[in-house]
């Protein structure tokens, strides 16, 4: 690179600063998103591991029946410690009670209690006491930090509960703990309290504990808990065998969550992977965009390349010159994106760690390779995509370069196509020229249309996915036809329930259902689950419904069939349950403990249900047969004559009063709107994410269109001069340029149609499975298509406005002398 070439480069940059700025903006914008997601992923993964491991979580928990009294715990613990791979063992308990002072009309809030003996050394499943001290007094509890915020409570305030025996209990919040192994309270819609066994009698329970929690190593003598779940399960089952020495003590469940993995790790990991992929996609798109723009810049420079070669510059020197240009562009974009990327990444990491994982950040450090990757990709990717046009331009012969008039060699061979266009009657000449001009630089046209089409396809697919997500509540409305749900404190006689509400004004139909919380396991096996200490995983709500229900449409069946009247022990499972029971299929038998009865069911179907699911479902007849209950129900679903929230609340309250008058205690009244609101709230993150996707991609696409039109005008300056010289008015030149922009935009819309459909399906499947365990319903949103068409056509108009205006301002002399 000679000094004069460097001077030329810098002065060229000054003359094309607008397009250079757009290239820097496109690359920079995408790089900020990509690097932020990469940094966030790196920070979250490292902090999640550190935070979760800091609690020394149990490798395995054995759920015992009956619970072990305090004076016998040491015996159980000693048996566990006798297993060579067991590092440490202690006894704990987890159970839930309902907070008694819930406002009417909202879902009852559960408070999960984590119980330990007062003298527990707190080596396993430990937590940080941030305020107050452990153990709390018998009438007090320590509240998990995120639960305090969720329940809007403060230290010193009292919590009113319905005790295990149904009686009212009041506990005082005496302190705050932080337990990074628990998901934030709002995500599980429950509070977390930490109490000692001294508090249990106050809650109407015996001072006993029913969980043997252990840390387990790979080999005897090792002090680091195993990373191998299979090895942990083997040792835990050995402990189960050892406990057989204690007559009357049964192991109900062996809970072995994935080692060293936070309960929300799969979601956070997949979410971040999706975000990084999206960032990478937008980076690739902007690199293609900058290659397109660079190709345009080179087109403008081609005659100058010819001159440089004519006065002795080799291809290598030309290559160096323009390599430096693209390096400068990508380097500046990378430098500008560096700090915003870090800041956004840190903000995103904080959001995920505190919002989704309940983990405090101790360090924002990321490995050096992530910085290296960002710099490497930021600088290297645009260079990589620009290399082909660059090499091609630098290898042009002097004659090719000096003779360049902006037409592909193939372009002049399309005589018949051009001639056919000319024969179209009524086609305005400016339109005709604009259409022909489109095909002058076919490679660039392809790149520009491809870029816009890609942006359009992603934009439309993202909005389609959003429409699909927003359709989920509507689908719930379609499938669930009740307006109000009344949950009873205790099961009651189904005919009595129906009779009690039949006379309530506004009630059109009512049905008596039953819903019970249970666990799922394969028949005849020790129940080895992946359940975490919060017992959020592996627990299942079973619904027993009347087969002739008019208030619920069976969801789409993926395998097998729906329930039938001639079934004996049939159960239909949602496909989301396959996370808990991998490989479960039609024909398999499962056991569900319901109250004190262990019931056995045969899977007859797998259905496609998203969040807020009704299934697993059984028929009321089969349920009564299996449990020995007869004509009882704990859930009343009512269809009302009006469907607004106010009417639903009013009719629900009247129904509750009618039941109370009949001596039936109602625990909660939920209008259907609450269910929809909850679902919409949960899907909010997903919608926001998808919108972010669409916005960034849309911006990159429009920058591309603007740059392409600007390049096209600059490249044909001389041609516009000729047109003016032969009498073309300025408006004709303006229209010519504007038509070209609009044609390009229209072509891209056509090209985007099929990819948009495929991407919608892919995105819906990916995001749906990630967040809801089932694909987002396929919705083609006409408004999404319309919005993109408007954006792209308006964008094309605006993008061509300035270059077209510039073209009209050129004098004939300027245009003809243009180099």
By CB under 8 A, name the binding residues for another protein: 2-5, 7-8, 11-12, 14-15, 303-304, 306-317, 395, 397-399, 402, 412-413, 415, 817, 819
Task: State the Cα–Cα distance between residues 121 and 450, nearest whole angstrom.
Answer: 64
Per the rule left: phi > 0, alpha: psi between -120 and 50, beta: everything else, 133 is beta
Closest CA to 768 of 270, 264, 276, 40: 270
Nearest to another protein of 273, 407 (CB atom):
407
Q: How far is the CB of 454 from another protein (least distance, A)?
A: 34
Task: State the Cα–Cα distance between residues 616 and 609, nearest whole angstrom.
Answer: 10
Nearest to another protein of 202, 324 (CB atom):
324
Closest CA to 147 of 137, 138, 155, 139: 155
Q: How far is the CB of 311 from another protein (least distance, A)?
A: 4
Q: How far is the CB of 1 from another protein (least distance, A)?
A: 10
Q: How far is the CB of 329 from another protein (least distance, A)?
A: 17
Q: Is residue 804 within 8 Å of residue 738, measured between CB atoms?
A: yes
Task: State the Cα–Cα distance between residues 86 and 219, nearest whole angstrom.
Answer: 9
Nearest to another protein of 362, 397 (CB atom):
397
DSSP, collapsed to helix, strand or coil, labels residue 467 as helix
Establish whether the linkage from the previous residue to 261 is cis, with ω within 30° of 0. Answer: no
Q: How far is the CB of 304 from another protein (least distance, A)?
A: 6
Nearest to another protein of 75, 817 (CB atom):
817
Q: How far is the CB of 12 from another protein (least distance, A)?
A: 5
Nearest to another protein of 7, 677 (CB atom):
7
Nearest to another protein of 321, 613 (CB atom):
321
Task: State the Cα–Cα distance between residues 108 and 97, nearest whole angstrom.
Answer: 10
First to last CA, the chain: 22
Task: State the Cα–Cα distance between residues 404 and 472, nearest whole angstrom.
Answer: 57
Q: How far is the CB of 399 from another protein (least distance, A)?
A: 5
Task: State the Cα–Cα distance between residues 788 and 456, nearest whole angstrom.
Answer: 7
Q: Is residue 390 within 8 Å of residue 319, measured between CB atoms?
A: yes
Nearest to another protein of 315, 373 (CB atom):
315
What tokens does 225 get? 């808990």
Q: How far is the CB of 389 from another protein (least distance, A)?
A: 17
What tokens does 129 get? 């006491």
Nearest to another protein of 1, 388 (CB atom):
1
Nearest to another protein of 380, 411 (CB atom):
411
Q: How far is the CB of 424 from another protein (least distance, A)?
A: 22
Nearest to another protein of 407, 790 (CB atom):
407
Burial pattern 395-414, b for ≥16 Cβ within 10 A else e, equals: ebeeeebbebebeeeebeee
DSSP, collapsed to helix, strand or coil, labels residue 102 as coil
Q: How far is the CB of 9 from another protein (least distance, A)?
A: 9
DSSP, collapsed to helix, strand or coil, labels residue 208 as strand
Task: State the Cα–Cα distance between residues 457 and 13, nearest whole angstrom.
Answer: 33
Q: How far is the CB of 10 from another protein (least distance, A)?
A: 9
Task: State the Cα–Cα distance between residues 811 and 814, nearest whole angstrom.
Answer: 5
What would the DSSP string read from start to end of 281-326? HHHHHHHHHHHHHHHHHHHHHHHHHHHHHHTT--HHHHHHHHHHHH
Q: Is residue 526 within 8 Å of residue 665, measured between CB atoms?
A: no
Nearest to another protein of 227, 395 (CB atom):
395
R_g of the chain computed on alpha carbons: 34
Q: How far is the CB of 813 from another protein (least distance, A)?
A: 10
Establish whether the linkage from the previous residue to 616 is cis, with ω within 30° of 0. Answer: yes
Per the rule left: phi > 0, alpha: psi between -120 and 50, beta: everything else, 370 is alpha
Nearest to another protein of 14, 152 (CB atom):
14
């Amino acid at each position: 690179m000679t000094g004069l070439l460097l001077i030329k480069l810098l002065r060229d940059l000054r003359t094309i600063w607008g397009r250079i700025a757009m290239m820097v903006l496109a690359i920079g914008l995408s790089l900020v998103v990509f690097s932020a997601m990469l940094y966030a992923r790196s920070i979250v993964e490292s902090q999640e591991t550190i935070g979760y491991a800091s609690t020394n979580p149990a490798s395995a928990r054995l759920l015992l029946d009956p619970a072990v009294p305090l004076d016998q715990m040491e015996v159980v613990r000693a048996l566990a410690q006798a297993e060579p791979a067991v590092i440490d063992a202690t006894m704990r308990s987890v159970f839930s009670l309902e907070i008694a002072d819930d406002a009417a009309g909202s879902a009852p809030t559960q408070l999960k209690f984590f119980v330990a003996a007062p003298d527990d050394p707190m080596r396993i499943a430990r937590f940080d006491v941030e305020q107050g001290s452990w153990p709390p007094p018998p009438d007090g509890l320590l509240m998990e930090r995120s639960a305090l915020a969720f329940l809007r409570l403060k230290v010193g305030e009292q919590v009113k509960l319905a005790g295990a025996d149904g009686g009212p209990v009041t506990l005082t919040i005496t302190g705050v703990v932080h337990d990074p192994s628990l998901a934030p309270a709002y995500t599980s819609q429950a509070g977390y309290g930490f109490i000692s066994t001294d508090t249990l009698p106050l809650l109407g329970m015996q001072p006993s504990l029913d969980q043997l929690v252990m840390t387990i190593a790979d080999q005897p003598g090792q002090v680091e808990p195993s990373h191998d779940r299979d090895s942990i399960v083997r040792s835990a089952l050995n402990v189960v065998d050892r406990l057989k020495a204690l007559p009357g003590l049964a192991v109900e469940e062996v809970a072995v969550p994935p080692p060293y993995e936070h309960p929300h790790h799969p979601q956070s990991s997949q979410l971040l992977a999706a975000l990084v992929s999206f960032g990478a996609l937008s980076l690739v798109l902007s690199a293609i965009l900058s290659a397109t723009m660079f190709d345009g810049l080179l087109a403008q420079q081609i005659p100058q390349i010819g001159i440089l070669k004519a006065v002795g510059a080799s291809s290598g020197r030309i290559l160096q010159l323009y390599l430096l240009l693209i390096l400068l562009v990508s380097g500046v974009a990378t430098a500008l994106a560096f700090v915003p990327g870090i800041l956004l990444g840190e903000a995103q990491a904080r959001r995920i760690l505190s919002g989704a994982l309940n983990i405090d950040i101790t360090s924002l450090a990321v490995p050096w390779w992530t910085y290296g990757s960002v710099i490497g990709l930021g600088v290297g990717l645009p260079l990589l995509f620009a290399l082909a046009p660059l090499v091609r331009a630098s290898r042009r012969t002097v004659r090719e370069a000096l003779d360049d008039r902006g037409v592909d060699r193939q372009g002049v061979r399309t005589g018949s196509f051009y001639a056919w266009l000319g024969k179209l009657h009524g086609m305005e000449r400016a339109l005709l020229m604009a259409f022909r001009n489109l095909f002058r630089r076919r490679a660039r046209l392809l790149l520009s249309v491809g870029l816009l089409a890609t942006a359009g396809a992603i934009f439309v697919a993202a909005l389609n996915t959003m429409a699909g997500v927003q359709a989920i509540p509507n689908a719930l409305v379609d499938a669930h036809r009740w307006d109000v749900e009344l949950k009873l404190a205790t099961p009651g006689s189904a005919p009595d329930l129906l009779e009690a509400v039949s006379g309530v004004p506004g009630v059109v139909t009512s049905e008596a259902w039953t819903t019970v919380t249970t666990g799922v396991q394969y028949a005849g096996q020790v129940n080895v689950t992946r359940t975490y200490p919060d017992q959020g995983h592996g627990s299942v709500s079973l619904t027993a419904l009347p087969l002739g229900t008019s208030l619920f449409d069976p969801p789409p069946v993926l395998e097998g069939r729906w329930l039938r009247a001639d079934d004996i022990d049939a159960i239909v499972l949602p496909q989301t349950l396959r996370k808990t029971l991998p490989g479960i299929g039609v024909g398999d038998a499962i056991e569900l403990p319901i109250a004190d009865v262990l019931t056995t069911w045969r899977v007859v179907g797998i259905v496609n249900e998203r969040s807020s699911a009704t299934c697993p479902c059984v028929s009321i007849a089969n349920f009564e047969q299996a449990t020995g209950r007869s004509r009882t129900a704990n859930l009343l679903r009512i269809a009302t004559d009006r469907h607004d929230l106010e009417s639903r609340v009013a009719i629900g309250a009247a129904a509750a009063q009618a039941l109370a008058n009949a001596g039936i205690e109602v625990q909660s009244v939920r209008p259907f709107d609450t269910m929809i609101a909850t679902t919409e709230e949960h899907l909010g993150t997903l919608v926001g994410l998808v919108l972010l996707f669409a916005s960034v991609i849309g911006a990159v696409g429009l920058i591309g269109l603007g740059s392409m039109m600007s390049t096209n005008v600059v490249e044909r300056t001389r041609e516009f001069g000729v047109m003016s010289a032969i009498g073309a008015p300025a408006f004709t030149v303006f229209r010519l340029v504007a038509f070209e922009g609009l044609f390009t935009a229209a072509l891209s819309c056509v090209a985007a149609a099929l990819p948009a459909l495929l991407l919608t399906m892919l995105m819906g499947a990916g995001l749906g499975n990630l967040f809801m365990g089932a694909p987002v319903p396929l919705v083609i949103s006409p408004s999404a298509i319309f919005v993109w068409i408007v954006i792209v056509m308006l964008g094309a108009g605006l993008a061509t406005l300035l270059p077209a205006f510039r073209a009209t301002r050129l004098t004939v002399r300027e245009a003809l002398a243009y180099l």
